[in-house]
Structure 1
Amino acid sequence: MYIDKYRIKPDEKIKLKGFGTSDDKGYDLEELEKELIPKAVEKLKDLHLKLNAEEEKGILVVLQAMDAAGKDEAISYIFSNLNAQGLKTLTLGKPSETELGHDYLWRIHDGLPARGEIGILNRSHYEEVIAPRVHDLLGEEPLPDELIDEKIWETRFRQINDFERYLSENGFPVVKFFFNVSKEEQRKRLLERMKDPQKNWEFSFSDVEEREHWDDYQEIFEDMLNHTSTEYAPWYVLPADNEQYSRYIIAEVMNNLLSELDPQFPVISDEEQDKLNEYIEKLEAEGEE
């Protein structure tokens, strides 16, 4: 797979409409579900196990999208297969009063990975350059007046880039996935969720209400992608109408990143090996008694 097709290059100015919401590159759905995705996930499990064992680097994964674009399903189908000890997930909603009392990056720290972990942000710090902009919410936040000016979004883009560079330079590379879903596909998925008794419990009325701001969201997403896709923390735009193909892209991007990191199982010392052999013999002897 040529994954660079979906990556936004640093300083490249893209039009979101230039990235298709539907693209399967001719892959058969059955082939994706039964062969390609399982194979990619198996490789990811192996690489993640080595990352977890080595405990030198961690990876921060950012998932960002409109509602019903497929973020939760990507976690279930791809990341939930990994070793739970080396995985953490944080889902962000509307900021609490406590969170608003801190800087806007403060609340994501619980979701950051330790060395050896993959940390997943289901929604992320990018919410702070999206929702407040769509709904003009900054005036409701306890920010000093002098910080709220016409350059605040440009300032926040710079701050986010600096923060992600800091993470990367300290051994925590960042990879970001934007689920580019069409308005029509979202409509179908919301209706399916609303009509299904096993799914409508997770439906939020705000999901439909936010559709009224669809064009505003698309414009802001485009601005976000253009200002924050960097060499050290790239954005990948997924054709989210094709759920299985999007999951395959995610798995391949993760495998490519982990292969570059090249984690290895730790090699024990001669002294530890001698002790290990001693205990192996001890336990084997117990079985012979």
Structure 2
Amino acid sequence: MNEPIALTRVDIREVWPKEERNFTPWMADHVEILGEHIGIGELSAEDTEVSISGGRELDVLAIDANGAKWAIENQYGEGDHDHFTRGLAYAVALKCRAVVIVAENHKEEFIAVADEWNRYSESYGEDGIRLFLAVIEAWKIGDSAPGFRFRLVAGPNEWKVDARSRAANSASKAAKAEACKQFWSQLLDPLKAKSPLFRQIGPRKGTYIDITSGSCKYQIWVKSDSCHIQLRIDSRDPGENHGLFEEIERSRDSIEQRFGDALEWKPSEGLQGCIIRYDVEGSPGLKTPEGERPPGIDKLVDTVIRFHDALDPVVSKLE
């Protein structure tokens, strides 16, 4: 008889060794999963390490499907007074809709304060800043690679019980999905006209499209006002990811010379795949009016093809 496979908790430092170097960038790339796991709807990252007056920096600034800002502050260990009050100060300074504080654990006293804060906040309606406390956990089954989850421990009552909010959230998700599909349709036509690489790709309802499959995926991501392109190296094996990344990075100078600009090279020591990224300045986003997109789309199309052509001589040999 087979023994049951054990589910074991993993120290998050085994997955993301350093909070600032590993976890915060990973959070920014997976903020939509945070929204999904704790039931607050779709979020997308706008910026990281956002400077605030006084010399402080917010870990992640995100927006929801309605365009409202969310302040996300994360820390290793147990949630403390400093991050608690800092997160609220950031939300006030940046005029955020809500604050999410992510930690490994939250004390009962802070959960009680968050509940009381949200009761007062709800009395101010849409003007009140909501407060969410979430826990980050990593787990593995047997000898598998670690998986993760965010778990909500405190949040405002209207997120839990208001059916109208859930219906509105569902409607906003549908509207965003339709906006994404329309955006990709507008972009893919000129891409297909210029390169056979894109001929089998159809419009998506999500915020990114994979141009290729396999361990090394070329991707295009759309945000509210711009796009970025990237090569994501993710074989689900962190060691293999780093090996592939290092092989490609050995040709960094020649790659960037072919591309014509510097790229952002982001190795990872955890679950997040390694990334080689380029933010396309002047590219359009979901909120860019359809009629104003063509110049930015032309630039994005040329940049995507140039990005692929610069990397592919190296990547294709590894794949």
Task: Determine if the TM-score, normalized by the shorter chain, exceeds 0.5.
Answer: no
Q: TM-score, normalised by structure 1?
A: 0.27
Q: Name the structure with the higher strand share.
A: 2
Q: TM-score, normalised by structure 2?
A: 0.25
Q: Name the structure with the higher helix share.
A: 1
